[in-house]
A = this chain, B = another copy of it.
Amino acid sequence: MAENTNLRIRLPIVCIVLEVILIILFGTLVEYDDHTSAHGWHDNKTKPKDPDYENEFYFRYPSFQDVHVMIFIGFGFLMTFLQRYGFSSVGFNFLIAAFALQWATLMQGFFHGMHHGKIHVGVESMINADFCTGSVLISFGAVLGKTSPVQLLVMAVFEVTLFAVNEFILLSLFGARDAGGSMTIHTFGAYFGLTVTRVLYRQNLEKSKSKNCSVYHSDLFAMIGTIYLWMFWPSFNSAVTAHGDDQHRTALNTYYSLAACTLATYAFSALVSHEGKLDMVHIQNAALAGGVAVGTAGEMMLTPFGSMIVGFLAGTISVLGYKYLSPVLESKLKIQDTCGVHNLHGMPGVLGAVVGIVTAAVASTEAYGNGMEDVFPSIADKSSNAYSQAGMQAVSLGVTLGMALLGGLIVGFILKLPIYGAPPDTQCFEDSIYWEVPGEEEHCNELTHVTTAPEEVEKLNG
């Protein structure tokens, strides 16, 4: 029953095959867009004077880097709370994201519309690829500690494709709005991941429970992740909104939502604790729910105080979820959600979709003026109206949940095949399965600066 966790053949094969496929597909299908190509930018200029400042790079690159930091530092370090899984948290996050952003470029490019049979890339496709990657990392959070990196890469192959299909249905077919991905990223990623982790339910996970927790300094490493996610979420939600007021407003709405969410998180974390003590799990996770919850409505005229109400609600729901709901999901529904993604991305994602439904329903020309076109193009060109738009938002939520649950089910069973070198129930949340791990006070065997201490590894594997 225990699988062979030696990945000496399987991990290289999967990485190399995937990368070769990516390179071939990029070689045949991908080219620079007109803001990235030398002849494309210079030979298509229509203005007589030099308008280099109109290159998309200047509008979006700073926000792209903030999103990038959220994906690689934010998610990566947030998951280092586990006391013996830090290498895997940061390291597998790094690997999956590096793969997923390339695969997402192809999948999203294909669905987004090709130019003469080519996929065009530029800073906007880079941001959208990071968004898709975020969804995969959310699912990673649900299975954290219980999979091999090969399983994660396989999950990413399928999840990225499903994400791109869902995103296409919502944004291109339905004309739904979801700038910060409350539906496409958070709801989808959470419920997909929760379904996968349900299918991969481990009967004897209790045997690893001594490692399914934090120590003092791992909680501090995790706070690095939390704070970066919190600070840069305004960039995340605004990254692909329209130029001008839209990017500006979306960032500001998110900023206020998160501030209010933080106050709610501290309030309820102390309240639900017998001794009134704050719980790092809540601070690390629930304080972020406000960003998720304004993912859809952030670009709308939500108003600052509207954002604050949403954020406060999100933080409250999230803390209560961590305290009361997660244990129930685990004991009754057998969902072993390591990071509690249901409380940070699941419920707040649905809340975000609902907020989007409501805010779309009240869209008015007084509020948006000539800016309606940037936020609700279908209302602006009269092909729809506020109520229909709200209806499409609602249908979108339903479709997303369906895609996530069905997709998670299928992919879960694909990942259940005993071929990936997954760890046994007794060895979850343990870095030394897949990494050469130094001890706490180590002597080096050779003069290089890598150490392997066989007796130490065996002790951990005990």
Contacts and interface: CB of A to CB of B under 8 A. Distances in A.
A372 B82 contact: no
A114 interface: no
A127 B70 CA distance: 21
Nearest to A34: B245
A209 B228 CA distance: 32
Interface in A421-455: 432, 434-444, 446-451
A215 B444 contact: no
A45 B301 CA distance: 18
Given A52-B243, A259-B101, A262-B95, A216 B435 contact: no
Interface in A295-336: 301, 303-305, 308-309, 312, 326-327, 330, 336
Given A39-B369, A41-B371, A263 B308 contact: no
A126 interface: yes
7 contacts: A6-B275, A11-B267, A19-B263, A30-B304, A39-B370, A41-B371, A76-B223
Contacts of A438: 83, 213-216, 219
A398 interface: no
A284 B385 CA distance: 52
Contact of A256 (B16, B52, B102, B271): B102
A330 B450 CA distance: 14
Interface stretch (A159-167, A177-185, A246-254): A246-254
A309 B24 CA distance: 10
A214 B26 contact: no
A-B pairs with lowest CB-CB distance, top 8: A39-B369, A8-B276, A38-B371, A41-B245, A52-B244, A15-B267, A98-B262, A42-B370
Interface string A358-398: 00000000111111101100000000000000000000000
Given A245-B40, A247-B57, A248-B57, A260 B209 contact: no
Interface string A260-296: 1011101110110111111111010001000000000
A81 interface: yes
B449 A270 contact: no
Interface stretch (A86-94, A168-176, A190-198, A345-353): A86-94
A280 B435 contact: yes
A12 B57 contact: no
A158 interface: no
Given A23-B308, A58-B58, A205 B447 contact: yes
A308 B102 contact: yes
Contact of A375 (B10, B38, B122, B276): B38
Nearest to A221: B220
A94 B261 CA distance: 12
